[in-house]
Amino acid sequence: MSKLITRRGLVGAFAAGAGSLLAGCDRLGDDPTFRKGLLFRGDDWNRSLQRLLSNRDAPAREYRPDQMSPVFRTNGTRDPGTPDYAAHVASNFVDWRIPVDGLVNRPTAFSVAQLRSMPLRAQITRHDCVEGWSAIGKWTGPRLATLLDVAGVKDSARYIVFHCADRLGRARRPYYESIDMVDALHPQTILALALNDRALSVGHGAPVRLRVERQLGYKHAKYVQRIEAVASLDGIAGGKGGYWEDVADYDWYAGI
């Protein structure tokens, strides 16, 4: 979270002018977070200002089909490699279920078929990995917001955590990632079922992976097997909100 924290100084400096900025900004009127009145709730004040100043609602750039990369490489885990995952591959993920739980009113487990039957969004975006490569591809899937709506995410939820089916490193720690509600509800945040019009390959995170455009590659959790709404990241694994955040001190907010 270092970026959020380091921006606080900046945010404070702009606070005096924020009232007039807010008044002139109709765009906020459409936003569920703002409608719920979160904006003026003490602790969220800085976060909301930070969002306003950095324009966190802005869409990521989308590209034309002719700009798509001929090859989209894979990175990190290329196959979770467990007997359980192999069985799901063999049965084409018919029994794969993604529970959405934690701070929700109606915990719900979604099958891949259910996700496929939701309104789907397709977006051609650029993936940027910290290791120094990028690729442009077309991702298709339902918005995360749709699932959160079905499950009835509570107002007390501040983060959405993605628990993955793979384990990494010598310690075999499970991969996981998390995002805040600004990114969770963003229209381009989807649970991708397909890359370039084909069902996700094992290498790219079959059957379901997160796309959180405007953040770096490691935030895009592959092999999503559980989605949890939480008020704090403290109790989860190393407490820093993601596998790489825990083991290598990567920034939690990996904005591009």
Ligand X SMILES: Nc1nc2c(c(=O)[nH]1)N[C@H]1C(S)=C(S)[C@@H](COP(=O)(O)O)O[C@H]1N2
Count of residues interacting with Mo ion (CB under 5 A): 4
Exactly one of 102, 207, 217, 241 binds Mo ion (CB under 5 A); which one?
217
By the 8 A CB rule, do 107 and 101 touch?
yes
Burial class for 112, CB neighbours closer than 10 Å (0-12, 13-18, 19+): buried
| Interface pick for ligand X out of 4, 202, 221, 229 (rule CB under 6 A) | 221
Beta-strand relationship, 173-180 and 120-129: unpaired
* 217 part of the interface to ligand X, by CB under 6 A: yes
247 binds Mo ion, rule: CB under 5 A: no
Which helix (H) or strand (E) is 174 found in, with range? strand 173-180
Site string for Mo ion, 54-83 (x = CB under 5 A): ---------------------x--------
Cβ closest to ligand X, residue 103 vs residue 210: 210
Residues of span 156-195 touching ligand X by CB under 6 A: 164, 166, 168, 175
Q: With CB under 5 A as the contact rule, which of the stretches 200-208, 212-220, 228-236, 242-250 interacts with Mo ion?
A: 212-220
Q: Return the structure tokens found at 165.
A: 């089916």
118-137 footprint of Mo ion as x/- string (CB under 5 A): -----------x--------
Residues in CB range of 22: below 8 A, 6 or more apart = 28, 39, 52
Smallest gap, in angstroms, from Cβ of residue 74 to ligand X? 4
In 3D space, the residue among 64, 74, 193 whose CA is nearest the CA of residue 135 turns out to be 74
Is 22:28 a contact under the CB 8 Å cutoff?
Answer: yes
Would the CA dihedral through 242, 209, 220, 8 be positive or negative? negative
Please, which of residues 87-146 interact with ligand X by CB under 6 A? Answer: 129
User: 54 or 74, CB closer to ligand X?
Assistant: 74
Distance CA 111, CA 98 (A): 7
Kindly list the residues in this chain that would bind Mo ion in the complex (CB under 5 A).
75, 129, 217-218
